[in-house]
């Protein structure tokens, strides 16, 4: 094999590798990825009702799908589950909102939220399948 043939083969292989990397990057940046967001503010009322919200997008689900959320305020080792909303996995973006009443558990101010889109799937004993998760600092405001 001549030096010219080796050089041409190298250029062709490099081009193919770059094409694969580029198409992979495009596939991962597509607008239809599964995701969940958390709004930067949540609310807490005088009776202790906390409400968290955001958006989600999931592509498909064969079992029941939910958006669950939890919040911590103060001690990050202590997390409180805040509701669970049924989710529709159709590729479109949807809003979610979860509320829970816990007298004297939360105050206006900084908090840390985790939201997860989870499906119960499989035959027999349902197993969790996670579609998307997000952790985010937010501010709780009094309403």
List residues bridging with 84 in a β-sheet: 68
pLDDT tens per residue, range 78-127: 999 998 999 999 999 999 999 999 998 899 999 999 999 999 988 788 89
Question: CB burial class (10 A; 0-12, 13-18, 19+) of residue 117?
Answer: buried
pTM for this one?
Answer: 0.75
pLDDT tens per residue, range 48-87: 999 999 999 999 888 899 999 999 998 989 999 998 999 9
């Amino acid at each position: 094999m001549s030096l010219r043939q080796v050089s041409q083969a190298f250029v062709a292989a490099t081009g193919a590798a770059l094409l694969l990397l580029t198409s992979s990057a495009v596939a991962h940046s597509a607008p239809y990825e599964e995701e969940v967001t958390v709004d930067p503010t949540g609310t807490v009322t005088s009776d202790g009702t906390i409400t968290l919200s955001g958006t989600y997008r999931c592509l498909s689900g064969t079992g029941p799908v939910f958006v669950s959320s939890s919040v911590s305020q103060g001690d990050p080792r202590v997390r409180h589950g805040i509701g669970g909303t049924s989710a529709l996995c159709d590729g479109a973006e949807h809003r979610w909102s979860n509320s829970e009443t816990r007298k004297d558990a939360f105050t206006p101010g900084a908090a840390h939220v985790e939201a997860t889109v989870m499906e119960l799937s499989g035959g027999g004993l349902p197993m969790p399948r996670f579609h998307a998760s997000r952790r985010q600092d937010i501010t709780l405001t009094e309403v």
